[in-house]
Structure 1
Amino acid sequence: MIESMLNRFWVDDVSEKAIIALIESTPGCDALSLLNGMKKGAFAKLERSIDGDNYYQYHLAIQRIYFSALQPEAAYLQMMKARKFPWSDPGFIAFATGTKKFLYDAMELTGHGKIRLQIYPQQAPLPFSMHLEYELDALEMIQIEMFTGTEELGTKIGDHIYAPAITLFALKNTQSAREPRFVLDFSLLAIGGDGLVAAKTIPAVVLAAVDIALGAGDMAVNEYRSAIAQSESGKRFLSTWDTVQFLLGVYGLARLLKESPRIFMDLRRLYREYRASKEVAKNPELIRELNQKLKGIVDDREVEQYLDEAGSSKRTPTVKKELEVLLSAPSPKVLV
């Protein structure tokens, strides 16, 4: 149906809204076939023709059904292998005083659903450095690493955002001022799903302990982020912490605890590794604060029992053939 709309002489506002509504109404079980079908030409045509608020809503719709097509465990596995793409688009004054910029340029979609792009790192006083050239599938999961804060998103330096690679077009269009709105508005992305059903199967004391730990812990982790990142074990913990926070916003806590206890088991293990490192021993105040705030995840007996029992009964999800594109993690193909 999308193809028939796009095969008209032009795509007007009414047909753009109809396409967006069709995408948004696609159930999770049909999302992958729709997205894979769009790689054959619809993605390229829509990037050429759609703009304004419809462009913003279109990319949000793509992001929603992309994540609705993945179970939390599958999304987590893919995020752990996602390629990183830097984002920094400072204003003129910030750039002139030394803030690095990454210019997204020469981006195109092939007829086979592949994206080719070039990224130029820039830093004053030198206008350009050697560019990097990438080729990747339009539906590959990517990690966008924020090198500058973004007011529209409330993001700060060091934050990570996950999205399908097709979202790179939205980044480029924001940077080139074709589109004024930053389309990675993940406050509108939540797809919770069976969260209320899942909550009924989890002991209330476990749900409450983890919820409190994630909320209080996030403030503490962000306060001490630079100190934590000074060690390799700290960097691994931070990376997983940020991934868990992202997944929480998409799927909700109850669904994550029910369907993917492994996420919290990994977080617990990585924090304990960080806590046992020699670097942390030099900063007792830091570890005392983190231990207190993260107790519900790393040192609560009932939570630990629930995670261990739930984790032992969970198996790595079977990857269906139509999921291969989304769940595979190809070796980075960087053309220089």
Structure 2
Amino acid sequence: MKFLTILISAFFVFSSVVRAEDASTQTTTAPAVNAAPAVQNQAPTVPVLPKVQAPKKKRVKNNAAVLPEGVTPEDVISKINEGNKAMQKLKEKSDYCEICELNKKTETTAHTEIPAREAKAIKDNPDALTEPKGDENSINTRVAVCKTQPGIYDLCTYNGDVVPGQIRFADRTGALRREWQFDFAGQARQDLGFSISDANDEHVSQSKETYMMVFPRRYLPSIRIEGDQQVVTLATGEKVTFDAKTKRIVGGALTNEKSYTGTGVAIRVDSTGEEPRLGNRSVTITKNGKPCKSKVVPRNLWPDQADNSMLHFKYPSDAEFDKFLQKTCGFSMY
């Protein structure tokens, strides 16, 4: 019993020494609890501390990934944002369309949109002529949106197109309102023609309608203002000069009587109160005043005679139409 008492006393002394050593290694200023008094002239006893094991990793719920060493949540968020940006660029690329791209490459010139390259060419050389982009006209609508330009004329863009395809202006000084309309839909050669409408504001059915084409079709119609004059270039490259205010012809390859005085071939068809290219009326074809030897009717030149027809000219190229002229009229456009 005495031996057991001594053993228990020794154990409590040893425990007090260990607690005192632990307190001395911490940064807190709190005094050690139950520390044994220091023993002078005696080396301190260094206890053997138990081995500390690293804490076990907690199991991640919901199969969430464990971040690799050195990777922070901020790094993951940054990578996700970069990936989202890359995906957005791919989507934008897949959404590419030619019309959208053309719109990006346009600039506003005289209140209408013209491709930047063509706008610069017009600015650098206003007398420059533009050749058709091709033979066949791919525009299948007669609906156009127009914007009035300086010089009191309109530039019109057909639905589905991104560049002008029509020039319009009107004269209100006479008894009838005369409107000129020069077409170049799709910037193609096929339907390069112009119409002249003498409209009766009170009786539309009495309006006088004329449709004309001139050959060879080398250029797209164009218009420019020179002082008090308005100059229109026809498909042949020949010019017609109008008074900018009254819109009356003062010179060039056309007259106010709707006659062509140029050196090429002209087609003319007239009607009252309806589209002249529809119906069974006669079509006049001339070269230097010489008429075609055979009778020609609209269906020979505009075969689709339906009321909702786009009225595309039968011969998109000049070579095709020249064969028709030689066979039917007895002359060539050249």
* Higher Rg: 2
Fold conserved (TM > 0.5)?
no
Larger helix fraction of residues: 1
Structure 1 length-normalised TM: 0.26
Larger strand fraction of residues: 2
Structure 2 length-normalised TM: 0.27
